[in-house]
Amino acid sequence: MKRLEDMNIKGKRVIIRCDYNVPIENGIIKDDTRIVKSLKTINYCIENASKVVILSHLGRIKSPEDLKNNSLKVVCDRLSELLNKEVKFITYEDDVNKEVNDNSLVMLENVRYFDLDNKKESNEDPELSKYFASFGDIFINEGFGVSHRECSSLTGISKILPSCNGFLVCEEVDNLSKLLNGYERPYTVCMGGKKVSDKIELIDSLIDKCDYMLISGLMVYTFLAAKGYKTGKAFTEEESYDYCISLLEKYPEKIVLIKDAYVRNNGKQYRLINEIDDNDECLDIGPETIELFKSYLEKSKTIFINGPVGLFEDSEYEYGSKSLCEILKNLDSKIYAGGGETTYMFNKYGVNNAFKSTGGGATLTFLSSGTLIGIIK
């Protein structure tokens, strides 16, 4: 990788492509991990460069109504607080070139605003790439979470300007690479999420590396349904049944499924897996599963957590995720959070002895393929 500390940025205008696609609810940022982790690169550039231009996306822009709901202004305000320095927010209605030239630290509005025009940002439109590149002399990729995608504000600019990776991206790659080679065993993977089909590539890349794979979240019900269990109202993928059965048959000692659940059915109810009925909405794992998972986690030297085990955002169904985190907090193992909801869960329940990836989809792609298209080489 080309690293920031190996670039001469002194006195240059630098464009930093961050990933500030953070969860926001009613105008409040619920988890600012991605913002906090970008501070090292931004401060380094402030100390060494005359001017800094920050780019990011937020959400998806499919209609004019999405513009208001996906403005980066609240993110800019939070970044200013964390830096204890004003970050000038620039909209595309402003005279962008003048504002960029007149201010030493700026953030442009959501780059995906340009997706309203034939998805120019997400499709790496050459002219839009040149437009973004015109604001700087050097480009820094600090958006690990979007480094698995081609877009004008990342791969497009990197083809035009001298480019490198920021501290966050390098930290992500350095740490996640340890899950590909040189990890300590036993190595346990905890897989969550909704769809098995979304995780097939990742499962296939990890199943021969890990010693145990604990499966929960909504995706476990596709495995259970494939085995013939009733799964109530849980989402399942019939097209993935054969894949699940083949995995269970090939790796019977590795793959571990849940034993019980908390369901919604006229209130919160407890069920063993063979007791789930058609009207049950499965939302969390139960104590028997926690004890089962604990027996594997406590003997593991390396642990990768990808996704919560239940609907932890609802306090009524947070038992499993909270209990899992309590177990992890007391381990000396090397623990990795697979970004997105996992990092949010770790932060909520105080799991501070783990590497928390900012990636989400990028993390999964990296672990599946060993590289990302947006990483500067």
Q: Answer yes or no: is pLDDT of 367 > 80.
A: yes
What are the structure tokens assigned to 254, written together?
């590795």
Last residue of a domain, one of 152, 170, 188: 170
pLDDT-derived band at 79, boundaries 50, 70, 90: very high
pLDDT of 361 reads: 87
Pairing of strands 187-191, 212-215: parallel
**Cα–Cα dist 337/306, whole Å:** 6
Percent of the chain past pLDDT 70, that is, above it, reads 100
Distance CA 250, CA 244 (A): 10
Q: How many domains does the chain have?
A: 2
My answer on whether 117 and 200 are in the same domain is no
Q: Do 318 and 192 reside in the same domain of the chain?
A: yes
Distance CA 192, CA 103 (A): 44
Pick from 126-130, 184-188, 288-292, 308-312: least confident: 308-312
pLDDT reported for residue 2: 97
Last residue of one domain, picked from the residues 109, 137, 170: 170
The pLDDT of residue 307: 86
Confidence category of residue 182, pLDDT binned at 50, 70, 90 = confident
Q: Which residues are paired to 45 by β-bridges? A: none
Q: Which domain holds residue 31?
A: 4-170
Query: Is residue 377, in this structure, part of any structural domain at all?
Result: no
**Same domain (yes/no): 214, 235:** yes
Instruction: Tell me the average pLDDT across 94-116.
Output: 95
The CB-side HSE value for 319 (13 A sphere, CA atoms) comes to 18
Instruction: Clarify whether residues 124 and 267 are in a common domain.
Output: no
pLDDT of residue 181: 84
Token pair in block for residue 99 = 């504002």
User: Looking at the predicted structure, is the pLDDT value of residue 276 above 80?
Assistant: yes
Q: Are residues 20 and 107 in the same domain?
A: yes
Does residue 21 have a pLDDT over 80? yes
209, part of any domain: yes
CA distance 240 to 27: 38
Taking the C-alpha atoms of residue 206 and residue 350, their distance in angstroms, rounded to an integer, is 27
Average pLDDT over residues 348-377: 92
pLDDT band at residue 49, thresholds of 50, 70 and 90?
confident
**What's 200's domain CATH number?**
3.40.50.1260
φ, ψ at 357 (rounded to 5°)? -70, 145
Check residue 338 and give its pLDDT. 87
pLDDT at 121: 98
For residue 95, what is the enclosing H or E element? none
- Is pLDDT above 80 for 50? no
Do 195 and 219 touch, CB atoms closer than 8 A?
yes
Q: What is the CA radius of gyration of the chain?
A: 22
Average pLDDT, stretch 11-16? 96
Q: Is the pLDDT of residue 346 over 90?
A: yes
pLDDT at 197: 92
| CB-based contact 365:335 (threshold 8 Å) | no
Residue 251 — very low, low, confident or very high, per pLDDT cuts 50/70/90? very high
pLDDT at 137: 96
3-state helix, strand, coil in the chain (%, to 5): 40, 20, 40
Q: Note whether 136 and 214 are same-domain residues.
A: no
Supply the mean pLDDT for the chain: 95
| 208: its two tokens | 């021969």
Distance (Å, whole) CA 337 – CA 349? 13
pLDDT confidence bin for 10, thresholds 50/70/90: very high
Phi-psi group of 32: left, alpha or beta (phi > 0 → left; psi -120 to 50 → alpha; rest → beta) = alpha
For residue 16, the cross-strand partners are 54, 140
Q: Looking at 115, 138, 170, which one is the last position of a domain?
A: 170
Q: Is the CB of residue 310 less than 8 Å from the CB of residue 342?
A: no
DSSP codes of every residue in 118-153: TTTTTTT-HHHHHHHHTT-SEEEEE-GGGTTS--II
In a domain, 146, yes or no: yes
C-alpha closest to that of 102 among 139, 55, 50: 50
